[in-house]
Structure 1
Amino acid sequence: MLIAFLATGAVGAVTPAEEHIGPPYQDAPEMVARPDIPHGRLQSFIMTSAESGIFPGIRQLDNDITRRRDAWGNRIAAPAAEQSEAGPYRRDVFVYIPAGYRKGREVPFIVVQDGRDYAARMAAALDSLIAQKRVPMMVAVMIQSGGGDAQGSERGLEYDTLSGRYAEFVEQEVLPRAARLYGITFTKDPNGRAAMGGSSGAAAAFSMAWFHPEWYRKVLSYSGTFVNQASPVDPATPHGAWDYHARLIPDNPRKPIRIWMAVGEKDLHWQDPAETFRNWPMANDRMAAALKARGYDYHYVIAKDAVHVDGNVIAQTLPAALEWLWRDYPR
């Protein structure tokens, strides 16, 4: 595992760029709802595939081709036409609106993938952090995927594809709907826009910033799927998100992206060799090394004995991660 220290944070402050944490894990106090502070409200709406011009909907096929596995149990890539077919979806979108927000006021925000999994935790954390003025007043837009998982699924297409398509979906179809429904004016300042997710949702969050840094410059990643899971296969990035740390970050000028990331010591396929391109702890280690070599503003947490998108790790670290990401943004 990597151990290194970089100068980060406020001017004059030196904080560890990489740290190890371990059990017993404890929920951060900010994760407990408090009656003595203002509470934001959670709203929700539904989006369907029929309404989308960007993601009209697919679903996984279950056949002999898609069930094939290699020696390590990983799915063997198949032609896109043999992995999926057209299929409708419905997705929930949850919107956290902070207490005291006035309609029409420009506001920073965070977009969260697999939104249902994080809605309650984000609301509790943001209530506390905003009340304590440790982060700016902000909105959270928490978007459920179109369903399924990994190759051939709508979720896999949205999250594991290395392109700007998902960010464009959020920008063109999700944010305008939320703005109309709730009177929100989302900031256009890319430093006031963050993206977050776990697993493939974390890869999607990084892709939002990588392909559209004019829109997003903050990323929060839990157990990022920086491995080979993209479908359909793109010849330009044949190893999917593994290519972020193998080629894309090392071979391109540094982009204005700040990223907080965590991985479990016993995350998915933690014992698999590098040639599988599917070892999550190894992929996140290499991601941190690539970010460090290019001089990115990053913070990397390695969680001892933790597993994939470990809820105990999230409950302990989410408030501090949000505060670190927004540390120099105006309150």
Structure 2
Amino acid sequence: MTAPVPYRPLPLDLADVRYAHGPDSERRPDVPAGKTTEVTLTTSAIYPGTSRKVWVHVPAGCDASVPAALLVVNDGWWYLDPAGEVRGGVVLDNLVHRGEIPCTIGVFVDPGVVVGSPRPKNRNVEYDAFDDRYVTFLLDEVVPLVTAPYAVTDDPERWVVCGGSSGGNAAFTAAWLRPDRFRRVVAYLSSFAQMPGGNPYPDLVARADRKPLRVFLQAAHRDLGWDAPTRNWFAENLRVAAALAEAGYDLRLVVGDGGHSPNHGGVLLPDALRWALGGVAAAAAPITPPRTGTPSAG
């Protein structure tokens, strides 16, 4: 079946390209808003001394008989903010309401802050590292905030992990190391170029047995270092995409204009989720009252 794409002229000046959001990224009067619960995590066994906020977003109207799918998003509030570029809760409400994706609970996780430290931001420590600490943190300390009160599927084909920039590194690494839990990845402008020790993935993807992942990557022509011989965000994203393509992965690569901005990735989120969860029956899970009470608000 042919998918016609309307003609749009390419921008010639790439200094400040901005993409317009589509209707799935706008609050609609006929779509009921989901419920968002804010939780503050003040302790962590994986990242001692850190504190962070987590938002759990449950779309309205999930009324079918199967457990909900799960979307875990790094840089939580940046991606949840209804006035921001990504608008994750709005997108989930719209897509679930129309049955275009299964009922999907969103978990928006802020990076940690080291309490009392002169350098409090723990984002790069958590997101850029090539190890299993972050995915273990998600599975052991964050996901239970959802699985305790709500029915969530155990099917890794319906667990999506999403992030941008260093958060894209964390999303890809989480799925790469734990495909038994996360098999869907949405990664925007990933900062593979700044991972300690260099970008490991082109070589790893080529050498390792193919993992059961479906990967959505977005890259930008004018990302950081786009014309540099080293630490080139654009080139490193293309290298990862090429390795995945050559290894036969289920891959969708979208290359746009603009720089290191969440704008294009945010505009793409509705299609990225439709694609990531493609082939999964869009039957919504029943959202019933929590079995043991909702997570405590922070």
Per the normalisation by structure 1, the TM-score is: 0.74
Alpha carbons of structure 1 residues 324 and 300: separation in structure 2 relative to 1, 3 Å: same
Match of 1:126 among 92, 96, 113: 92
**Kept in 2: contact 1:259–1:299 (CA 8 A):** yes
- Percent identical among aligned pairs is 33
**Kept in 2: contact 1:21–1:302 (CA 8 A):** no
Query: Which residue matches 2:173?
Result: 207
Please identify, of 206-215 and 105-114, the stretch whose mean Cα deviation from structure 2 is larger: 105-114
Matches within 5 A, 1:262-301: 262-273=218-229, 276=230, 278-301=231-254
Matches within 5 A, 1:288-327: 288-304=241-257, 306-311=258-263, 313-327=264-278
Deviation at residue 13 of structure 1 after TM alignment? 8.4
Alpha carbons of structure 1 residues 244 and 14: separation in structure 2 relative to 1, 3 Å: farther
Deviation at residue 176 of structure 1 after TM alignment? 1.3
Query: Which residue matches 2:38?
Result: 44
Q: Which amino acid aligns with 2:280?
A: Y
String of CA shifts for 1:135-179, please: whole Å, max 9, x gaps: 11110000000148xx99521221111122211111111111333
**Kept in 2: contact 1:32–1:124 (CA 8 A):** yes
Query: Which residue matches 1:111?
Result: 72
1:225 aligns with 2:195: no
1:144 aligns with 2:95: no
Query: Which residue matches 1:53?
Result: 45
Q: Which amino acid aligns with 2:46?
A: I
String of CA shifts for 1:220-279, please: whole Å, max 9, x gaps: 01101112332xxxxxxx32xx1111x111111111111111112111111210xx3x11
Query: Which residue matches 2:291?
Result: none
Matches within 5 A, 1:255-266: 255-266=211-222
Query: Which residue matches 1:154?
Result: 122
**Kept in 2: contact 1:45–1:93 (CA 8 A):** yes
Query: Which residue matches 1:164?
Result: 132
Deviation at residue 25 of structure 1 after TM alignment? 2.1
Q: Which amino acid aligns with 2:253?
A: Y
**Kept in 1: contact 2:75–2:163 (CA 8 A):** yes
**Kept in 1: contact 2:113–2:120 (CA 8 A):** no
**Kept in 2: contact 1:28–1:315 (CA 8 A):** no
**Kept in 2: contact 1:218–1:259 (CA 8 A):** yes
SS at match of 1:227: helix
Corresponding residue pairs, total: 265
Unaligned runs of 5+ in 2: 12-16, 283-298
**Kept in 1: contact 2:190–2:233 (CA 8 A):** yes
Alpha carbons of structure 1 residues 196 and 265: separation in structure 2 relative to 1, 3 Å: same
Alpha carbons of structure 1 residues 171 and 21: separation in structure 2 relative to 1, 3 Å: farther
**Kept in 2: contact 1:206–1:219 (CA 8 A):** yes
SS at match of 2:145: helix
Alpha carbons of structure 1 residues 198 and 15: separation in structure 2 relative to 1, 3 Å: farther
Which structure carries more relative contact order (alpha carbon 8 Å, separation 6+)? 2
Deviation at residue 293 of structure 1 after TM alignment? 0.4
**Kept in 2: contact 1:26–1:315 (CA 8 A):** no
Q: Which amino acid aligns with 1:113?
A: N
Deviation at residue 14 of structure 1 after TM alignment? 9.0
**Kept in 2: contact 1:195–1:205 (CA 8 A):** yes
Query: Which residue matches 1:178?
Result: 146
SS at match of 2:162: strand
Alpha carbons of structure 1 residues 122 and 279: separation in structure 2 relative to 1, 3 Å: same
Q: Distance in 2 between matches of 1:210 and 1:15?
A: 34
Aligned CA-pair RMSD? 2.6
Alpha carbons of structure 1 residues 53 and 294: separation in structure 2 relative to 1, 3 Å: same
String of CA shifts for 1:79-118, please: whole Å, max 9, x gaps: xxxxxxxxx332110111011347x962111100000101
**Kept in 1: contact 2:187–2:218 (CA 8 A):** yes
The runs of 4+ residues in structure 1 deviating greater than 4 Å are: 12-16, 20-24
**Kept in 1: contact 2:221–2:259 (CA 8 A):** yes
SS at match of 1:256: coil
Unaligned runs of 5+ in 1: 1-11, 57-87, 231-237
Query: Which residue matches 1:250?
Result: 206
Deviation at residue 37 of structure 1 after TM alignment? 1.6
Alpha carbons of structure 1 residues 186 and 283: separation in structure 2 relative to 1, 3 Å: same
Q: Which amino acid aligns with 2:21?
A: D
